[in-house]
Amino acid sequence: MRSRAYDEVTVGETLPELPVPLTRTLIVATAIASRDYQDVHHDPGLAAERGSPDVFMNILTTNGLIDRYVTEWAGPAAEVKAIKIRLGAPNYPGDTMVLTGTVTAKHDEDRRVEIAVRGANRLGAHVTGTVAVRLPGGAES
Amino acid sequence: MAQTEQDGYEKRLGEFAGREAAPPRPGPDPVNVPMIRHWVEAMGDRNPVYLDEEAARRTGRAGIVAPASMMQAWTMRGYAAATAGQDDGSGLGELIALLAEGGYTSVVATDSEFAFHRELTVGDHVGVREIIESISPEKKTALGAGRFVTTERTYLDQHGETVAVQRWRMLWFRPARTPPGGREPAALRPRPAVNRDNAFWFEAAREHRLVIQRCDACGALRHPPGPCCPRCGSYGWDTAEASGRGRVYSYVVSHHPRHPAFEPPYVVALVELEEGTRLVTNLVGVAPEEVEIDMPVALEWLDPDPELSLPVFRPVTA
Amino acid sequence: MSGLSGRAAIAGIGATEFSKDSGRSELRLACEAVLAAVADAGLRPSDVDGMVTFTADSSSEIHIARSTGMGELRFFSRVPHGGGAACGTVQQAAMAVATGVAEVVVCYRAFNERSGQRFGLGRADAPSGAGADDAAFAWVSPFGLFTPAQWVAMFARRYMHEYKATGEDFGRVAVVDRKHAATNPAAWFYGRPITLADHQASRWIAEPLRLLDCCQESDGGQALVVVSAERARDLPHPPALILAAGQGSGDDQHMMTSYYRPEITGIPEMGLVGRQLYGQSGLGPADVDAAVLYDHFTPLVLPQLEELGFCGRGEARDFIADGHLEVGGRLPVNTHGGQLGEAYIHGMNGIAEGVRLVRGTSVNQPPSVRHVLVTAGTGVPTSGLMLGTDR
Ligand SMILES: [Zn+2]
């Protein structure tokens, strides 16, 4: 994986789209990997009792996927400085979330780049937010 | 609830603002490679700096680091605590009980805002301290009536140094009755892009004031606002408060596409204020087929979520 | 007549098939359209020295030039504002050719607008930055007004109110477009005309707009080759002379939401374009033998007829009901089927039809066409062309 340098990034540039197939296994596996055992993230019967049509992805996983999305683009040298998200439509099994992103700001003083991120499923926006990463200065090998 | 009872409930809720949600508590395990591996496998994250010492050093780091987004996971209490129930005598436990008293028994996380001070390395031991920041008035949401509870979580390392701060918001709600076949999930209205030229308008709206930008040199009113007066060129401006009375200049009844925050058919109107400027808004309290151009309307406020307040209009008799 | 009039000509046109799922990249579509247009002009890719497209296009000219073996380019330019750019690309090319800055300029637009990113779904949750262009949507999107059909519906409702127009008046535009498309083998709706009753029975999208008031969403590409008039005379097809080319942004212009002007039933930016077209060419509305009017949504065809002087304010509904848009009428319009009937290629396929009308090769060719007026997107800063036969 190549690391992106601060100077090669321009405001307005878009990140490649990342479709994330939302399998039931993904939703359960990521909930457990984040040590989140709330029933709505793994038990369809109890989720229905609570008024949800099915289990849905937990917010820690949304954070994790957005972190992955931005650092895949930015490369291993990037340091994540902030992840701010707001959730909308839930991620249910069988859907696909498509992540998109746009560079919205650059801060020369600490080589920090801000990226507006959106993850949409067929119900609408699952997540909108911004991620800030610090990038290396010169071009890296 | 009766009004006095209601006031009492609000007051009891309000007393939680500023309280500690839970005493500082260290996570069950220090930062370790097996949990990182479990996380990155599940997330599909192939960044080598999380598992490969050599790759991490090539990026200038001392060794393996944990994914930033994993911060909260280090402090999750896990299976035993999740199944043992919520009331643990903490401030948050008391608040949850009080919310249940108001019928707010279901919960979803809606916002997470992380600022990371440093990366975590293997052996770090993270704990969290959580302060209750605010409890919103009751809001109508697509999930049901509810209250947003905002807390601030400070993540501390084994030396007591802050490694991250997280603003965390959950919606506690009374589940709406589920129609057969399931129901639309909660969704937020599209966010306005707020910048230096338009922020004043949205900030005034948060205070339920409908303002119109006014040139301080020639007095011209303008909406949508801008940094400079097209009539005289002045950069100076203040605002005039709108009376809130106006007429429907045109309107749209939207059916398609479906957006989860809007229940079709819904009415979007172009309202001409008596001050002379127009704005795009929604009409409430009127069926789409009853809307007419030139219909007199009056201002009301809609708070679709804690971050957004919008002026809407209701037909009135002239 | 201006210094631009008659100096340049469209000598080649080329397109891909028009579909709902091309199965190919947008760059591939652009290459196919460009190579077809260059071949139609009787030229080789290496003859091309300039390229123009929309700021909205995803394929920069360098990718096409590299892929098609054009070699060096000495002129490249892009025109903003969505479909309003269409005729503006030809204006850029004509100015470059007329001034000798370039000799062979290709204008192009290609996208997978149906199988890829669909404009019709709107920009409700588009990531937004702090710039003025994004912030402009803050005044509409939070209220649920975030699609092109919705934006146009606001104008349409006011137009109906002021001029007592009806949904059927809009529907007649769709019917004539689909009638023309029905005999055009390149059109998506080839062989599938509609009646006014079909229009009235179609579902609401954003009242007063019905499904059949809205153009298609299409995958495809279209390219045009612009050279000097002299050079065009030596190439295989009769030249389509560029008698005039203009752009227009009106007073108090917004992107699709110019709702704050004293009147919102006209399209002042199109009036501005029309005045330039007539001024540059020395022609008037009576000299125009056919037109290609941008038809992403039917209601905005009516004020175009008024702004361009083909009828008076509020009279477009009668002009249309009297059959003047049909072949054999006073002003045959969208003889290829328009974007409702042929394909939505952001107005570029309409310019190609303008060229065919001048060449005399439209599938619905009216007799004796000498001057064709072509318009670009409405609701946005726009552009237009007056094309004409040679001598
Ligand atoms: Zn002024």
Same structural domain for residues B160 and B220? no
Q: For chain C, what is the domain count?
A: 1
Range of the domain at A91: 6-134
- The complex's ipTM works out to 0.96
- The domain total for chain A is 1
> Does A93 reside within a domain?
yes
Give the three-class secondary structure for B290. Answer: helix
Please tell me whether residues B280 and B227 are part of one structural domain.
yes
- pLDDT by residue (tens digit) across A56-84? 999 999 999 999 999 999 999 999 999 99
Q: Is the peptide bond before B265 cis (omega within 30 degrees of 0)?
A: yes
Place of tokens 């848009």: C325
Which of A63, A102, A121 is the mutation pick for testing B, counting most B CBs within 10 A? A63
Q: Is residue B181 part of a domain?
A: no
What is the full per-residue pLDDT of chain A (141 aa) written as tens digits?
788 999 999 998 999 999 999 999 999 999 999 999 988 899 988 888 777 788 999 999 999 999 999 999 999 999 999 999 999 889 999 999 999 999 999 999 999 999 999 999 988 889 999 999 999 987 544
Tell me how far apart the alpha carbons of residues C93 and C98 are, in angstroms, rounded to a whole number.
8
Task: Using CA coordinates, name the residue in chain A closest to C116.
Answer: A17
Burial of B44 (0-12, 13-18, 19+ CB in 10 A): middle
Tokens of C361: 């090769």
Residues B109, B151 share a domain: yes
**Statement to judge: residues B12 and B158 lie in one domain:** yes
The confidence score (pLDDT) of residue B88 equals 57
How big is chain B, counted in residues? 318
Domain annotation covers residue B182: no
The stretch C224-228 carries a mean pLDDT of 98
Residues B169 and B133 in one domain: yes
Is residue C153 in some structural domain? no
Tokens 């457990």: give the residue.
A32
What is the rounded distance in angstroms from the CA atom of residue B225 to the CA atom of residue A17?
A: 34
Q: Which of C4-8, C57-61, C118-122, C245-249 has the lowest mean pLDDT?
A: C118-122
Is B197 close to C128, i.e. CB distance below 8 A? no
Contact B247, B295 (CB under 8 A): yes
What confidence score (pLDDT) does residue B180 get?
A: 36
- Which tokens in the block code for residue C278? 């007539």
User: Residue C154 domain-assigned?
Assistant: no
Distance B225 CA to ligand 1 centre (A): 12
pLDDT in tens, C343-372: 999 999 999 999 999 999 999 999 999 999
**CATH code (residue B145):** 3.10.129.10
CATH code, C93: 3.40.47.10
Assess if residue B284 is contained within a domain.
yes
Q: Rounded to the nearest whole angstrom, what is the distance from the C-alpha of residue C114 to the centroid of ligand 1?
A: 45
**Chain B: residues touching C (Cβ < 8 Å):** 189-198, 202, 223-224, 230, 249-257, 259, 261-262, 265-266, 268, 270, 277-282, 288, 293, 308, 310
Instruction: Write the CB contacts of B167 (distance below 8 Å, at least 6 apart in sequence).
Output: B111, B112, B113, B133, B150, B151, B152, B153
A141 with A78: CB under 8 angstroms?
no
In a domain, A1, yes or no: no
Task: Say whether both B23 and B130 belong to one domain.
Answer: yes
Kindly report the CATH number assigned to the domain that includes residue A43: 3.10.129.10
Question: C122 in the Ramachandran plot: left (φ > 0), alpha (ψ -120 to 50) or beta?
Answer: left
Does A98 fall in a domain?
yes
As a whole number of Å, the CA-based R_g of chain A is 17
Report if residue B178 sits inside a domain.
Answer: no
What is the rounded (10 degree) CA torsion for B38, B39, B41, B46? -130
3-state secondary structure of A47: helix
Given the DSSP bridges, would you call strands A79-87 and A124-134 parallel, antiparallel or unpaired? antiparallel
Distance CA C380, CA C256 (A): 5
- Does residue C345 sit within a domain? yes
Structurally, chain B folds into a number of domains equal to 2
Q: What's the pLDDT score for residue B183?
A: 40
- State whether B106 and B27 are in the same domain: yes
| Structural domain of C295 | 8-116+216-388
CATH of the domain at B205: 2.40.50.840
The residue among C198 and A46 whose pLDDT is bigger is C198
In a domain, A118, yes or no: yes
**Partners of residue A120 in chain C, C-beta under 8 Å:** 125
CA pair distance C239, C292, nearest whole angstrom: 18
Contact between C141 and B190 using a beta-carbon 8 Å cutoff: yes
What is the pLDDT averaged over residues C227-246? 98
A63 domain residue, yes or no: yes
Q: Is residue A139 part of a domain?
A: no
Q: Look up the domain containing B106 and give its range.
A: 3-37+45-79+88-173
Residue B55 lies in a domain: yes
Note the pLDDT of residue A50: 72
- CA B127/CA B146 separation, integer angstroms: 30
pLDDT tens string, chain B, 318 residues long: the values are 456 677 788 888 888 888 888 778 889 999 999 999 999 999 999 999 999 999 999 999 999 999 999 999 999 988 877 766 555 567 888 888 888 888 888 888 999 999 999 999 999 999 999 999 999 988 877 777 889 999 999 999 999 999 999 999 999 988 765 443 334 445 889 999 999 999 999 999 999 999 999 999 999 999 999 999 999 999 999 999 999 999 999 999 999 988 889 989 999 999 999 999 999 999 999 999 999 999 999 999 998 888 899 999 999 986
Chain C residue at shortest CA distance from B278: C260
With respect to residue B234, please indicate whether it lies within any of the assigned structural domains. yes
For residue A97, the chain C residues in CB contact (below 8 A) are none
Between vectors from CA C258 to CA C257 and to CA C260, what angle results, nearest 5°? Answer: 120
Domain final position from B173, B189, B207: B173
**Could you write out the DSSP letters of every residue in C302-334?**
HHHHHHTTSS-TT-HHHHHHTTTTSTTSSS-B-
CB contact under 8 A, B224 and C155: no
pLDDT tens digits along C268-325: 999 999 999 999 999 999 999 999 999 999 999 999 999 999 999 999 999 999 999 9
**Is A140 inside any structural domain?**
no
pTM for the whole thing? 0.66
Question: C259 an active-site residue?
Answer: no
CB contact under 8 A, A104 and C130: yes
Number of Cβ within 10 Å of residue B24's Cβ equals: 12
Output the CA C261–ligand 1 centroid distance in Å: 17
User: What is residue B184's predicted lDDT score, i.e. its pLDDT?
Assistant: 40
Beta bridge partners of C225: C12, C106
Does some domain include residue B192? Answer: no
Q: Is C124 on the interface with A (CB under 8 A)?
A: yes
